[in-house]
Amino acid sequence: MADVVIIGAGPAGIFSAMELTRRCPELDIVMIEQGKDIHERSRTGREMLVGWGGAGAYSDGKLTISTDVGGQLASLLPEEDLLNLLNHVDALYSLPTASGDVFSVDSDDAEAISARARLAGLVYIPTKVHHIGTDNLSVVLKKFRTDLEGNIRFLFNTRAERIITSQGRVVGVKTDSGQTIEASFVVAAPGRVGSSWMSGQARDLGLETHPNPVDVGVRVELPAVIMEDLTSKAYETKFIYFSKTFDDRVRTFCMNPYGEVVLETVGDIITVNGHSWAHKRTENTNFALLVSADFTEPFDDPIGYGEYVATLANMIGKGVIVQRLGDLLGGRRTTPERLQKCSTRPTLEQATPGDLSYCLPYRILTNIIEMLSCLDRIAPGVNSYHTLLYGIEVKFFSNRIKLTRDLSSQIDGLYVVGDGAGITRGLIQASASGIIAARSILARHLTTGETA
């Protein structure tokens, strides 16, 4: 038995646990995590996405302090309240280490970039970014883990099989080992990697959901000097484009100045991502170009669609494919010999030279090519013959579950937070969502004394 069960030890679950133990240390809390503890994790295969710290543990630790990007919490909270919460989260990430740089765009620079973007047919979103770095983020997560030791019962290498309810109220969680943990409150924070599981739980529990679009695209890599004028002012420049051909929304995502491209494994699917370090540099900058694929009736499985596209790329390339932009536009595959002639040296050696047009749908590929042309107008060289494209990059988001302002569901005592709820799309808003749920539980516990 427990007072609270937290499913998932990613940012949302961790910050929920920290808020609960800080304000009410006598609560009996159990945290279930399908992966390993932070000291046992590695940057290979499936372990890169599951375990203490979740998928964010091996990200570049980019905290975007903005109510406009990184999630949809702004639809539930007043903007001022949300911004205060995001700054609170940022302060907690900053406590364990003094390292990390904060980038806030000067108003004059923001206005100049915005004007250039409009001329190029793009929308620029200025943001304040706190870049911790992959190496420093590991230090921060280990500190969080140490602080919670002794206050929480951890079940690592354990999967939550299903959430148990009775007469409209949550009563506990059953694990894959057959163990049942009874609890008055459950915080479901399965993360992006648990999006399919959460969608299944929502369906079984009869929770109202709405499909989120799936983001499908490529990771772009080019010499850092091409983006230097932008990244020196804003570090991560976020642009949105609505394609001329299809009027689809395309966006830049997770820009990593002087960073590297990396592999991610989601189940049996290999996808691509990128990050940057605090204390070392490569000669390249990388970022994603993602197309939001939204579907209407009768199709209602955007996650399955994204998985299919990524699986097709894996089948063709035996993993991730890399292609020179010049080869793509020329209608030919990139071969190892052609890649050797490329002036942009790839940072991901495991990628297979190939042809992305065999796996990316025409609509998505057209949108990406259009946006590269627009980006070239504000950063000459982006649309170069030697720009590298890696595929596939996919961002899976659970169907958005109908939640109240405090992130509680239609099941009494069940809270759903983070990327697994379809409500956040990044490190800082996922962390903030965990705090919101914890504060609601604390209010109910301290007022009524609700316990298991």
Residue 252 sits in which domain range? 214-395
Euclidean distance between CA atoms 423 and 64, whole angstroms:
16
Same domain, 376 and 415: no
275/357 same-domain check: yes
Average pLDDT value for residue range 130-153: 90
- Sorted by sequence, the CB contacts under 8 Å of residue 247 that are 6+ apart come out as none
The enclosing H or E element of 315 equals helix 302-317
257 and 140 in a common domain: no
Q: What is the DSSP letter of 56?
A: G
Please name which of 115, 81, 124 lies closest in space to residue 406, comparing C-alpha atoms: 81
pLDDT at residue 262 above 70?
A: yes
Q: Phi then psi for 235, rounded to 5 degrees?
A: 60, -70
Per the CB < 8 A criterion, the answer to whether 28 and 3 are in contact is yes
Terminal Cα distance for the chain, rounded? 7
Residue 336 placed within a domain: yes
Domain termination site, one of 361, 379, 395: 395
The C-alpha atoms of residue 37 and residue 161 are separated, in whole angstroms, by 19
Q: Which of 452, 328, 415, 381 is nearest to 76 (CA)?
A: 415
Asked if residue 340 and residue 417 are part of one domain, the reply reads no
CATH of the domain at 187: 3.50.50.60
Q: 343 and 432: one domain?
A: no
Cα–Cα distance, 428 to 16 (Å, whole number)? 13
pLDDT at 451: 59
pLDDT at position 450 is: 61
Beta carbons within 10 angstroms of residue 426's beta carbon: 23
Q: What is the mean pLDDT of residues 149-166?
A: 95
Over range 330-352, report the average pLDDT.
96
Per-residue pLDDT of 87-98, as tens digits, reads 999 999 987 665
Q: What amino acid occupies position 76?
A: L
In the chain, what percentage of residues exceed pLDDT 90?
71
Could you tell me if residue 321 is inside a domain?
Answer: yes
- The answer, yes or no, to whether residue 69 has pLDDT greater than 90, is no
SS3 state at 61: coil
The last residue of a domain, from among 351, 374, 395: 395
CA distance 298 to 213: 15
Instruction: Check: CB of residue 386 under 8 Å from CB of residue 325.
Output: yes
* Most confidently predicted of 44-48, 214-218, 296-300: 214-218
> Which amino acid is residue 225, in one-letter code?
V
| Helices marked H in 120-223 | 134-148, 195-205
pTM: 0.85
Same domain? For 170 and 248 the reply is: no
Domain identity same for 383 and 436: no
268 with 361, same domain: the answer is yes
Q: Judge whether 412 lies within some domain.
A: yes
Find the helix packing angle between 11-23 and 427-448, rounded to 10°. Answer: 30
17 close to 142: Cβ distance less than 8 angstroms: no
**pLDDT score recorded for residue 252:** 96
Confidence of residue 287 (pLDDT cuts 50, 70, 90): very high
Domain membership flag for residue 120: no
Closest C-alpha to 39, from 52, 25, 22? 52
Amino acid letter, 236: E
Is the confidence at residue 325, as pLDDT, over 90? yes
Among 395, 416, 440, which residue terminates a domain? 395
Same domain, 50 and 188: yes
- Can you tell me the mean pLDDT for 303-309? 88
Inform me whether the pLDDT recorded for 37 exceeds 60: yes
- Does residue 118 lie in a domain region? no
Tell me whether residue 8 is exposed, middle or buried, using C-beta atoms within 10 angstroms of its C-beta: 0 to 12, 13 to 18, 19 or more: buried
How buried is residue 273: exposed, middle or buried, by Cβ count under 10 Å (0-12/13-18/19+)?
buried
| 116 is a domain residue | no
Provide the angle, in degrees to the nearest 10, between the axes of the packed helices 362-378 and 107-119.
130
For residue 282, count other CB atoms closer than 10 A to its CB. Answer: 18
265 and 351 assigned to the same domain = yes
Which 8-state DSSP code applies to residue 356?
A: G
Residue 300 has pLDDT above 80, yes or no: no
Whether 195 and 237 share a structural domain:
no
CA-based nearest residue to 188, from 146, 160, 223, 216: 160
Q: What is the pLDDT of residues 422-433, one digit of tens each?
A: 889 889 999 999
* 232 and 330 belong to one structural domain: yes
| Token pair listed for 274 | 């990128």
Contact 199, 421 (CB under 8 A): no
Please count the other Cβ atoms lying within 10 Å of the Cβ belonging to residue 161: 17
Averaged pLDDT for residues 187-206: 91
Does the pLDDT at position 254 exceed 70?
yes
Rounded-to-10 torsion of CA 192, 193, 194, 199: 60
In a domain, 187, yes or no: yes
- The neighbour count for residue 263, using CB atoms within 10 Å, is 18
Q: Quick: pLDDT tens for 99-133.
A: 566 677 777 888 999 999 999 999 999 888 888 88
Rounded-to-integer distance, Cα 32 and Cα 125, Å? 37
The pLDDT of residue 428 is 94
Q: Distance between CA atoms of 356 and 373, rounded to whole angstroms?
A: 18
Distance CA 214, CA 290 (A): 9
Answer whether residue 342 is part of any domain: yes
Q: Peptide bond preceding 298: is omega within 30 degrees of 0, i.e. cis?
A: yes
Domain tally, the chain: 2
